[in-house]
A and B are shown apart, each in its own frame.
Chain A
């Protein structure tokens, strides 16, 4: 996979992307290389099949959801900027970057990270995790030993705990409230290679 290393110059709109995502040039170049590796047929974009071919992903119980998250806009293709934008959710929150109240929320902010997680559950994009949607995720994430009844009881319980307005579904606001104690920055940041 050690294809020829690219330089920043080859990446279209590199400056804007860096500005938007907060990646350093080194990161961006690396991701671009990776993008090209994933893009086996040199199409210039990625398809869900390209992701499916990453063998480690097959070991991930929610890989379908994750792959789906890359293709939210409904299309079957993913170009490099979108690829980077999605990965940018997982950049650690910069501690020393001065906080400018005027600037918009960076992609890797806490609430954006949460939104990313939320949309994995919320497949029909109605802004709510319904019981059905939750069940689907749970089924994927729980061992096969768990019986259907147990699964349902877990799902009911989960919704009951988080559901503040008693509509039998978890809205994003409720989702955020439930996760208040969780250090999302730790949970949803990875270290990108340079």
Chain B
């Protein structure tokens, strides 16, 4: 495999870098006793105090840069670890990335420890909570699928609040019981300390959970439950931890009913106060972005600064900082995205992901590094084993009980298998460690035992559970699916039912509630720019997105090919694109292809577009025809809107496939409506248009796409009038395939087998031109008439190269096309692989 050399290269790189850092560490430890925390000021004075005898040309100023240098170096090393972890695809396929990073951390920690004979670097709780955690939480909040989150808020809160308290309490009390029973020998630890320990262990880590859940197919509801729960539960855990911490410092004897009530009150005040601070900051951000257009270049920075400030402010007021920054992200995203310039939005998203992924990587690596230290390790088999056992068992009990309760109010209950997944997904992460490390040693005598136990639990859950999660789910699913293999018609119908339900909900008006109305009118008015409010129109935004995407694709593709030639050879480009596409999706949404058959269907997915048709036909003839039919169906059925996963992904924020699907469906609808509209309105005069696009061009596609008037969808709800405009879009879509991204099949169906046919495919006149004719002949609605004159210019702007040259030809310089076409075609034929 070609992977191996690359891997070894990366490995050597890593070793070199770690050697480097180690060398620095050596120097640092010999140079100054203060270690990495040493304050630069003392170094400065010590340096300047040495008298110089002659003017040095260069001087060695290690102590000036020591701290920031080490920080930067560690960041680099950690990220290289991530690179290393990503390189090996096979390892990655079954080993969770977080686990790999921890192991990298072990190795690095070993190197450092070997050099220093002590662990010079560890994850300081302060650094963790102030510099590493905020951006991760902000990121998850900011990318939270909002609607889903709020519509499931009840269930999420139940799990996050009650579930967390239950876990903390049950683990604490049970451990205490076992301690009294003598299971862990002689420890200096009481009930309160156990409860404190239980509370810090209750933190389910969103990062680790998402990392695992991305690999496992879960439905939308379950996803948002687990995601929301793990996010809010961090906040709740910290609050709970603080309450118990206060109890511990108060001392057992002073606790009476009053204090307990105070504790409960403080729990709620801290949680809700934190959330309110977050909402307040979200409002500030949204308002601010209404006016930051003037300083567009730093616009994106405001989100980060204010998000961070919301964290610090809540911390300052001793409210829940995590909840604060979560809600800040959740609430501001909609308005920020609408208010800011497209570029700034993209910048925010990228930067957010860079920060979040970066610090997540560092956290996991440092979780590993920290462990290589003989100081913190206190082994107590009974304590550790019992902790792991209780943490898992109570998680299961909690999830099952709460879900059972919630199921009673649900139309479609959460199934047992999903509950299992949810319980098993209770991975503990860095928050637990951070809390454990920030315990006060004077009050908690067994701090080191707690830290080492927490670390063990984290390793156990992240590595072992993460590792077994996927096989477990696969096994469960397979077991469950086997007896009830559905017939094709049932599958089709199931999906049809989902569509029907979605439609019925739309018709019965499921979504419009009073609060939505208030939201839509007043809050939007308050927080959004007027232009942005206009853009909020759904149709518009869909087309806008589509256009952007198209434009980017065309430009990118054109640049890659370096000339217009690429537009000609449909099949090679498409193959490339598909490969890329397929890979992308296998990463982004591994669950498209539902789980148990993951591998096979993935390969099918690849093979459909990239392998030429004849091979495929042979496949069809084969005995696996049955299999194929089932899988084709499963893969290509449109999902109903309810099942689209607007999902948070750790490392991606691309428009996901469901978006594409929605657009595709939408365009098909528009197209068919246009057809019926035309036939209804024009009745007699279809002769003209029969010659043009529908059949031939639809198959050949690439030709015509861009009646790019699709950039002017004029999104109205009122289709009667906008029909003509949308018509363009319909066509654009049908042809719209044209962008290689979206319509590989056409080429498969059409071009490849018969390359000679390709030159001809341009023969139908540019659609928009004919469109114009038909439209005028139909006497279009006012609006349509008003719009028409604009289309040519738009066309030119956004058209894919090939079309643009064609359409401008015919429209603007009617005499050129023949001349331009001829030089283009011959090379075209030559480049074809056949």
Question: With A142-B633, A143-B636, A145-B608 in contact, is A186–B668 under 8 Å at CB?
Answer: no
8 A Cβ contacts from B709-767 to A: 717-720, 737, 742-746, 748-749
A150 to B632, CA, bound (A): 8
Question: With A59-B641, A142-B636, A143-B661 in contact, is A51–B507 under 8 Å at CB?
Answer: yes
Shortest beta-carbon distance, B514 to chain A, in Å? 7
In the complex, how many residues of chain B place their beta carbon closer than 8 angstroms to a beta carbon of chain A? Answer: 73
A55 to B506, CA, bound (A): 9
Contact of A158 among B492, B608, B640 (CB under 8 A): B492
Q: Is residue A117 within 8 Å, beta carbon to beta carbon, of the partner chain?
A: yes
List residues of chain B with CB under 8 Å of any chain A CB: 411-412, 484, 486-490, 492-510, 512-514, 517, 538-539, 608-609, 613, 616-617, 620, 625-626, 628-630, 632-633, 636-638, 640-641, 661-662, 664-666, 668-670, 672-673, 717-720, 737, 742-746, 748-749
Contact B500 A120 (CB under 8 A): yes
Q: Is residue A9 within 8 Å, beta carbon to beta carbon, of the partner chain?
A: no
B508, B513, B617, most chain A CB atoms within 10 A = B508
Closest residue on chain A to residue B638 by CB atoms: A61
Contact B539 A55 (CB under 8 A): yes
Contact of B514 among A2, A52, A120, A192 (CB under 8 A): A2
Shortest beta-carbon distance, A49 to chain B, in Å? 6
Shortest beta-carbon distance, A141 to chain B, in Å? 6
Closest residue on chain B to residue A84 by CB atoms: B508
Interface of B is mostly: helix
Contact of A154 among B609, B629, B737, B749 (CB under 8 A): B629
Question: With A31-B508, A87-B504, A146-B632 in contact, is A62–B664 under 8 Å at CB?
Answer: no
In the complex, how many residues of chain A place their beta carbon closer than 8 angstroms to a beta carbon of chain B? Answer: 64
Residues in A whose Cβ lies below 8 Å from that of B512: 1
Contact B488 A57 (CB under 8 A): no
Q: Is residue A181 within 8 Å, beta carbon to beta carbon, of the partner chain?
A: yes
Residues in B whose Cβ lies below 8 Å from that of A99: none
**How many residue pairs at the A-B interface have CB separations less than 8 Å?**
197
Contact of A190 among B504, B539, B633 (CB under 8 A): B504
Closest residue on chain A to residue B719 by CB atoms: A52
Contact B501 A137 (CB under 8 A): no
Q: CB-CB contacts of A45-85 with B at 8 A, as 1s and 0s?
A: 00001011111111111111010000000000000000000
Q: Is residue A10 within 8 Å, beta carbon to beta carbon, of the partner chain?
A: no
Contact B673 A57 (CB under 8 A): no
A167 to B280, CA, bound (A): 67
Contact B620 A57 (CB under 8 A): no
8 A Cβ contacts from A100-129 to B: 116-117, 120
24 pairs, CB–CB < 8 Å, chain A vs chain B: A49-B719, A53-B717, A54-B506, A54-B507, A58-B719, A61-B668, A66-B500, A140-B668, A141-B499, A144-B745, A145-B636, A146-B745, A147-B745, A148-B749, A149-B617, A150-B620, A153-B632, A154-B629, A158-B489, A162-B488, A182-B490, A182-B493, A189-B411, A190-B504
Contact A56 B641 (CB under 8 A): yes
A138 to B637, CA, bound (A): 8
Question: With A60-B502, A137-B492 in contact, is A181–B484 under 8 Å at CB?
Answer: yes
Contact A117 B496 (CB under 8 A): yes
Contact A179 B517 (CB under 8 A): no
Q: Is residue A191 within 8 Å, beta carbon to beta carbon, of the partner chain?
A: yes
Contact A144 B504 (CB under 8 A): no
Q: Is residue A161 within 8 Å, beta carbon to beta carbon, of the partner chain?
A: yes
8 A Cβ contacts from A9-32 to B: 30-31
Shortest beta-carbon distance, B146 to chain A, in Å? 17
Q: Is residue A157 within 8 Å, beta carbon to beta carbon, of the partner chain?
A: yes
Closest residue on chain B to residue A181 by CB atoms: B484
Shortest beta-carbon distance, A38 to chain B, in Å? 8
Contact A188 B486 (CB under 8 A): no
Contact B489 A170 (CB under 8 A): yes
Shortest beta-carbon distance, A107 to chain B, in Å? 13
Contact B670 A187 (CB under 8 A): no
Closest residue on chain B to residue A49 by CB atoms: B720
